[in-house]
Structures are given as C-alpha cells and as structure tokens.
Amino acid sequence: MKLSSILKYLFILLISTNVGLAQTAVRIDIDLTKSKIPVSPFIYGKNGVLPSTFLSSGTTADITKAREAGVRFVRQSGGNNSTKYNWRNQLSSHPDWYNNVYANNWDNAAKNMLDKMPGVEGMWSFQLIGKSAANTKNNFNDWGFNQSQGWAGVGQNLAGGGQPNKSGTNNGKALVEGNPALYTMNWPADSTVGILDKWFGPKGLGYDKTRIRYWDMDNEPEIWSGTHDDVMPTQCTAEEFMQLYFKVAKAARAKYPDIKLVGPVTANEWQWYRYGNDGIPSGGKKYCWLEFFIKRISEEEKATGIRLLDVIDIHYYPGSTDAATCLQFHRVFFDRNYVYPEANGVHTLNGGWDTSISKEYVLGRCADWLTKYIGANHGVGLAITETGMASKDANVQALWYASTMGEFMKNGVTIFTPWSWDTGMWEALHLFSRYNQKNFVKATSQDELLVSAYPTTDVNNDSLSVVLINRSLTDKKLVNLNFTGYVVGLDAYPMYSLSKLGTTETFISHAKNALVKSTVLASLNQISVELAPMSVNTILLRALRVGVNPDLKKNSLKASVYPNPANDLVQLDFSLPEKSRLKIDLFDAKGQLVKTMINSIFEAGNQQKEISLNRISNGVYWLRITSESATKTIKLIKN
C-alpha cells in the first residue's frame, strides 16, 4: 500500500474513533518565509520577586520558584512605594499605609538578583516627585490604634502627627492631616540618580549595570494628587511633570549613557488618555496624555540632542470577571478592530468626548505616535509593567496571560511584568519561557477569536515551538496546521498542555507542575490536533534534517526534477554557475540518508541527468543537491 494511502487510512481511523474530531477544523498557516520578530526575554517578567529587607545571602522560595518557572526580568521598585524611596537611607514612605516610613533595602534586592538569578535583568525606578522618606520617627502608631489591622482609613495621611478619622466623613480624609515635613526631605534630580553612582560608580558597590539597564521614571504620575497627596495635594500639570522628567532623564543619561529610560508609567485606561479630567492644551490643540508625552519627548530630544525615552510603559487593570470577556482582553493593545467593552478614556482621544471611539489598540497608537513625532527608526520599545485581572479563575488567568504574552511576541513588546499574580500564571509563564524559541513566526488562524497560534523558531529555523490556545469555554477545537518554509518530518512530536486547572497552585518546579504531555503526528508537512476547551498547548517540532551546510548559498544552484511523483526513473535538470562537483543524496521522510545517487564533476551551464529509483520503496523522499558553493533540496514522491 502507498505511504500516502496509509496516512489517509490512519487519519480516517483516528477520526472514527474520536467523536471530538468530527467537527469543522480550524486552519492555521505558519509561514517561515516571512520576516521574523525577535522575542524579548523580558516579556517573561514579574514584579516583586526579590527579598528587599533581609537575606543578603542564601536563597528563598520566591527566587527558587521564579528560576524554575523561567522568570527573565524582575521589576522590583514596588509601585507606589517607590515614589518617595530614599536609597541613601534605604527607606520608603508607604502611601497606602498612612504614609508610614519603613526599611526597604534595594541594595540587597539587587544583590540577590545578581548573585542568585543568573541571566536575569532587573528594573528599579527613579523618584521624580521631589520628596523622599527621611526617617521612621514620625510614623502613625498603627499597632496602638488597631493592632495594625486593615480598615477603610489606611490611606489617610497620618504619619507626621495626623489624627485618624474613624467616621468616614470629610471624604474619608484624616481629622488632622499629618505634616510630611516631619518624615520627608527634598529629593531633587541629582539625588534620585545618585543611586547609579552607588551601584555602578568607581567607589560604589560594583554591581553589573548591564543587568540593571531599565529604569522606570517613577510610577503613575498623573494620579499623584490621589496616591501621594501628602506631598502633592494639588496635581502638577502635564508640562510641570515633563520638566521633572527631563531633569532626571538628562541627569541619568549623563551618568549612564547606555541606560534605558522607561516612562511615563501610566495608571490605567483612563490615564492612558487623560491627565486629570481634560485634554492637555498645546499649540492651540488639546492632546491626550500619551500623545502629549511622546510629542514633548520628541521636542526636547530635538532641542537638546539627548535621548530621553527608550521604552513606553503603561499599566492596565480591567474590571470584568466574565470569563468570555476576559479571554479577549489580550486584544486591547494592538487589535485595531477590537471594540473594548470597558472603553472609557479612549472616548477622549481627540480632546473631547466621543463614545464612537471604542477601539483601544493603545500600544498600536503609541507606535503610531512615536513614528509621527520621533520618526520611523525611533527604536523606542513598548512595555506593560503592571496589570492584573479581576477574575480569579485559574484557567482564565492562564489563558489571558498566555494570550497576552503571545500578542506581545507577535508585536515585539520589550517588557511585560504583571503585578497581580494568581493561580494559573506560574504555569503559563513556565510553558512559554521554558519551551518558546527566540524568534516569532507569522501565523494566521481562520478563527482568531477563539483559536490562536503563536509559533517561535530558533536562529537556525530548526526547532519550532507552536503555542496553540483554545479560548472556547466549552468546545474542543480541531486544528489543522500547515507549514510554509519549514519541513516537518513524518514523526510523533511532544505536546504539553494546560487545562482544567483547579483553585490551588499546581506549579512547584520545572519537574513538578500541571503540564500534561501527549504526542501529535505529523504527515506530509501537516499536523491535525484536537485542543481541549480553555487550554494552552505547545507542540515542539524539529525540521527535517538532511545535513545541509548552512554556509552554502541557496540561490546560485538551480535544479528541478520530473516527473514528480515518479516511478523508476526521474530526470534532474540543473544549472551550475561554474564547473563543480555535484553530489546528490536521497533522504527518506525522517531525514535518514537512503543513498548517494550522484557524486561527480560537471561543467558549468545547463545539465540533465537521469536518476534511477529502482529498488527504492514507494514513499516521500528528499533530494539534496550540493555543489561546491550552493545547495538545494527538492521533495520527491515515488509511487
């Protein structure tokens, strides 16, 4: 029986024995001939991995788990707690806890990362607000008040002699506001960037600055009058913030020319567009916040010749808990056709209020603005350094997180560090970080709403990892994968799957987790596979190997064979640019050498040669034709 007939028979048998496959298949085309996008390892990131107030040596469970899961980037500054950080005294003022001042040792945190997380890079932040924590002597006595229990008034300004408001009147503010002058000090630009000298300078701690390149320019500045109203009771204007930004950015660039400056670190969807409650006037027009920020960066860079921005950074906290809704939130960043159900700030995109504007694609918009104001080759990356889902369903968390990482691979995002970390996320991170390759490959799904493919390949286009996500809440999905520019040998390949996650954490280590391993069969450069509902799956493929020398030029040798399919004889037509030895090898579908058909010297020009397939079994083969300066591989079927 012919090999192709056997494969068809096996496929029909497979369908007949599995009712779940009797459905319309989703076709996915994976094309390795298209340009590839390098995957930033920093999208495999997390906030708050490192111990910061203890443990200058040794390991911790958090570090161990992060290493096992494949964390590649750590954002350790601490969000709101970083805005008034004092690196000299290693203190932070905690705005969400009375503004009390506590120890916070960034030096130890950085050392832990450098010593115990090889290959990982870290991110801290500069303080732009102009004030930092000064001492712990004027804290509100939260223990004496209620044994340090949380209550509605933990955000009251009570450090520095304040009196708590237990009634909730006065908009929940303290009866008597604490005096920030008692626990803070002035912190100008030269103070905030002085940490670079401490960590990297000649008389400093000797830290490796190539592993601490990225620095956030503070945190959520457009809402400082809410989060840090003790030192900024009235919100500074957008232009006043830009002047603070410019001073710190220039001072940091002067000390560390290769630093990566990351901003403006906006709070959420409303703040992507609104700085306060109105558009930002400039040059007779009202701008939304992110566009204004990029515009002013461009203007200052042109005026000074100093690079002031390396990565655009925003935060994202959607509110929905509905599973089907949450599983589409990965589209909010780049999908220009996605109507976002929580659209709000985007209605103010053009300075007014227009509810017909509901397609966010916020990072796509930032990319457009960067090109518009800075130029096509701006080199500014994109980042999400805080996000969190309201749903606590582990399967929703895993699929949303995996889908977002997939979209960020597809669009070349630089940094992704979720803030909230719930059950299902360790599993998704481990699956991506451990098994993905270095370059994203173009993939097209016929049902992108529910089924997406995120393929990555190594630098030699040999190993191919294909992430397949089924977002259907209830239905299995049959997927047909088709490949262009990649030859998959007839073989069984491993697939790792996440689905049916429970309420408790299942990720323990690289060896102990919830991944379920199975195998998929490849035939005639195609794969058909069934995906469970709400599942994330990775297939690990190897290209058919025929021993081709990667240094050979692949365009200087022209060759073809006919007939194809063939019987006992096939004619090879080829053209050589110069006299050369020509070697023709026949490989089977698994890449095993069957026979060297020709190994002779030929003159330059057009040539013909008959090749005998006598005693060669029927099946799929590959002819590898190698001259002294080129190579070509041709698929050949004998029947």
Same domain, 62 and 199: yes
Measured between alpha carbons, how far is residue 363 from residues 183, 268, 371, 398, 573 in Å?
A: 39, 13, 12, 22, 51
Q: What are phi and psi of 311, to 5 degrees?
A: -145, 130
The pLDDT of residue 172 is: 82
Distance (Å, rounded) from C-alpha 9 to C-alpha 6? 5
610 within 8 A of 584, measured Cβ to Cβ: no
58 band by pLDDT with thresholds 50, 70 and 90: very low
Residues 224-242 have a mean pLDDT of: 97
Measured between alpha carbons, how far is residue 389 from residues 316, 318, 336, 403, 467 in Å?
A: 9, 6, 22, 13, 22
Q: Specify the DSSP class assigned to residue 575.
A: E
The pLDDT of residue 573 is: 86
75 inside domain: yes
Highest mean predicted confidence (pLDDT) among 231-235, 283-287, 457-461, 561-565: 231-235
Residues 450-459 have a mean pLDDT of: 96
Residues 489-511 have a mean pLDDT of: 93
Q: Could you report the per-residue pLDDT of 516-565, keeping only the tens digit for each?
A: 999 998 876 789 999 999 999 999 998 865 544 444 344 567 888 888 88
Say how many CA atoms lie within 13 Å of 337 toward its Cβ: 2
Same domain, 487 and 604: no
The pLDDT of residue 2 is: 47
pLDDT surpasses 50 at 55:
no
389 within 8 A of 417, measured Cβ to Cβ: no
Same domain, 331 and 208: yes
The pLDDT of residue 184 is: 98
**Domain tally for the chain?**
3
Residues 401-407 have a mean pLDDT of: 98
99 band by pLDDT with thresholds 50, 70 and 90: very high
Same domain, 425 and 565: no
Residues 47-75 have a mean pLDDT of: 81
Same domain, 370 and 225: yes
384 inside domain: yes
pLDDT surpasses 90 at 576:
no
The pLDDT of residue 545 is: 55
221 closest CA partner among 247, 241, 199, 205: 241
CATH number at residue 471: 2.60.40.1180
Give the type of residue at 365: R
156 inside domain: no
How many residues belong to the chain?
639
The pLDDT of residue 490 is: 73
The pLDDT of residue 7 is: 45
pLDDT surpasses 50 at 321:
yes
Question: Of 496, 514, 542, which residue constitutes the final position of a domain?
Answer: 542
Per-residue buried b or exposed e for 494-505, using 16+ beta carbons within 10 Å of the residue's own CB: ebbbbbebeeeb
512 within 8 A of 405, measured Cβ to Cβ: no
SS3 for 373-403 is HCCCCCCCEEEEEEECCCCCCHHHHHHHHHH
* Other Cβ atoms closer than 10 A to 365: 22
Distance (Å, rounded) from C-alpha 287 to C-alpha 273? 8
* Structural domain boundaries, residue 72: 46-130+192-435
pLDDT surpasses 80 at 54:
no
Question: Of 542, 569, 599, which residue constitutes the final position of a domain?
Answer: 542
Secondary structure (3-state) at 432: helix
Quickly list H helices, 118-274.
142-146, 189-192, 194-200, 224-227, 238-255, 269-273
Contacts of 92 (CB under 8 A, 6+ apart): 78, 81, 82, 84, 85, 86, 101, 102, 104, 133
Mean pLDDT of the chain: 91
The pLDDT of residue 206 is: 97
160 inside domain: no
Same domain, 580 and 505: no
Q: Could you report the per-residue pLDDT of 145-158, keeping only the tens digit for each?
A: 999 999 999 999 99
Same domain, 480 and 614: no
- What is the pTM assigned to this prediction? 0.84
The pLDDT of residue 594 is: 87
599 inside domain: yes
Question: Of 542, 570, 591, which residue constitutes the final position of a domain?
Answer: 542
118 inside domain: yes
CATH number at residue 301: 3.20.20.80
CATH number at residue 566: 2.60.40.1930
Measured between alpha carbons, how far is residue 520 from residues 21, 396, 475, 529 in Å?
A: 14, 25, 20, 7
Same domain, 207 and 239: yes
582 within 8 A of 627, measured Cβ to Cβ: yes
182 inside domain: no
Same domain, 209 and 356: yes
pLDDT surpasses 70 at 590:
no
Alpha-carbon dihedral angle through residues 602, 605, 610, 612, given to the nearest 10 degrees: 50
Segment among 291-300, 420-429, 467-476, 569-578 with least mean pLDDT: 569-578
The pLDDT of residue 330 is: 98
Segment among 76-90, 156-170, 357-371 with least mean pLDDT: 156-170
pLDDT surpasses 80 at 592:
no
Same domain, 324 and 210: yes
Same domain, 470 and 601: no
> Cα 443 vs. chain centroid, distance in angstroms?
17
Which of the pair, 134 or 4, is modelled with greater confidence? 134
Same domain, 237 and 103: yes
Residues 609-621 have a mean pLDDT of: 86
Rounded to a whole number, what is the distance in angstroms from the first to the last CA of the chain?
10
pLDDT surpasses 90 at 628:
no
pLDDT surpasses 90 at 444:
yes
Q: Could you report the per-residue pLDDT of 1-39, keeping only the tens digit for each?
A: 444 444 444 443 443 334 344 468 999 999 999 999 999
552 inside domain: no
Highest mean predicted confidence (pLDDT) among 40-54, 446-460, 621-635: 446-460
Tokens in use for 517?
């391993």
Q: What are phi and psi of 555, to 5 degrees?
A: -115, -5
Per-residue buried b or exposed e for 551-590, using 16+ beta carbons within 10 Å of the residue's own CB: eeeeebbebebeeeebeeebebebebeeebebbbbbbbbe
572 closest CA partner among 519, 522, 499, 626: 626
Segment among 22-36, 51-65, 435-449, 494-508 with least mean pLDDT: 51-65
Q: Could you report the per-residue pLDDT of 382-392, keeping only the tens digit for each?
A: 999 999 999 99
